[in-house]
Amino acid sequence: MFESWLVRSREQVEDALAAHLKEIEAGLGTHSRLADAVLYSVKAGGKRLRPILVLEACRACGGRAETALPAALAVELIHTFSLIHDDLPAMDDDDLRRGQPTNHKVFGEGLAILAGDWLATHALGLVAGVRIGPARMPRLLQALVDGTERMIAGQAADIEGEGRPADRELVRYIHRHKTAALLETCCRLGAICGGASEEPTEALARYGQHLGLAFQITDDLLDATGSVEQTGKQVRKDAAASKQTYPAAFGLDESRAQAGREIEAALQALAPFGSRADRLRELAQHMIERSA
């Protein structure tokens, strides 16, 4: 039941993305390979968890998922932009992403930077196409901008924290901003598109933040203990780069325990929603299980 829902939701996102990518390709033309660079990373796939989260948060508030679709695409494009820039030599210097060469390995650093810039800009523009009451549009734009700004601030703290002794307060800041802020934003966007009032919007945002923290701690654990086959990307990079991670700051056992506590807190935030949040509950369980 959960699995078939996940497949259907992913198809809904992939169909909308494919249609939108055709528009992007036609609009960008052929005066440079910018369109190729943009499409390469968006098509590289991934689990599309963020847009699915937007759609399901909208549903949990009683809205129609179709209303939230442009916002869902926007978040996926913001996520793609962040991956392209994070992989650059001046940042995390990754050659491999989802088992494929990273954007700058294929198109060069200049075009990779511009592809990320273009995706971020375009994503924020998608807000203009969401069919909600005009009074809610500034809130929607502000929520997406806030989440993206916090994500960027988290990445800045991440690259500047490299090589320094593990610092628990700094690790918490980095994870809360670099990863959790965008998942929190997914929930907030879905709630706004679903017509939710302040209280349920903030409850879903808390769910998204705890989910995001669990997600990033799990990611740290996979880098520390997983394989290339399992993750589709290079592993042991964090330790090699002396990154600020949960395992480095808290140890493996405490990190696993903390991930579990974050999932508990995420589930608690969903209590007011009753059965309407069942899919979001299952999604949280699903995300923590990938580290098992």
The count of residues in the chain is 292
Burial class (CB in 10 A: 0-12, 13-18, 19+), 247: buried
Q: Which residues, other chains included, contact 110 with Cβ-Cβ below 8 Å and sequence gap of 6+?
A: none
Six-digit token pair at 158? 């991440």
Interface with its own copies (CB under 8 A), residue from 113, 205, 211, 288: 113
Interface with its own copies (CB under 8 A), residue from 5, 10, 21, 33: 33
11 or 109, CB closer to its own copies? 109
Interface with its own copies (CB under 8 A), residue from 51, 63, 70, 116: 116
The CA distance from 14 to 72, in Å, is 11
CA distances to 57, 83, 225, 254 from 87, in Å: 29, 6, 21, 28
64 or 164, CB closer to its own copies? 164
125 or 232, CB closer to its own copies? 125
Interface with its own copies (CB under 8 A), residue from 3, 4, 23, 31: 31
Interface with its own copies (CB under 8 A), residue from 7, 142, 240, 285: 142
Six-digit token pair at 74? 């926007």
The CA distance from 98 to 114, in Å, is 21
Interface with its own copies (CB under 8 A), residue from 6, 13, 17, 34: 34
Q: Is the CB of residue 68 less than 8 Å from the CB of residue 103?
A: no
**Interaction of residue 29 with its own copies, rule CB under 8 A:** yes
Q: Where are the beta strands (DSSP E) in 159-211?
A: none
Q: Which residues, other chains included, contact 107 with Cβ-Cβ below 8 Å and sequence gap of 6+?
A: 33, 36, 37, 40, 115
Supply the minimum distance, in Å, between the C-beta of residue 158 and its own copies.
8
Scanning the structure block, which residue is given the tokens 């968006």? Answer: 42
17 or 266, CB closer to its own copies? 17
146 or 282, CB closer to its own copies? 146
Interface with its own copies (CB under 8 A), residue from 5, 10, 173, 235: 173
Interface with its own copies (CB under 8 A), residue from 120, 183, 189, 263: 120
Q: Where are the alpha helices (DSSP H) in 29-136?
A: 34-43, 49-60, 65-86, 103-107, 109-126
37-96 positions binding its own copies, by CB under 8 A: 81, 85, 88, 90-91
- The binding site for its own copies (CB under 8 A) comprises 28-29, 31-34, 81, 85, 88, 90-91, 108-111, 113-114, 116-118, 120-122, 124-125, 127-129, 134-135, 137-139, 141-142, 145-146, 148-149, 152-153, 155-157, 159-161, 170, 173-174
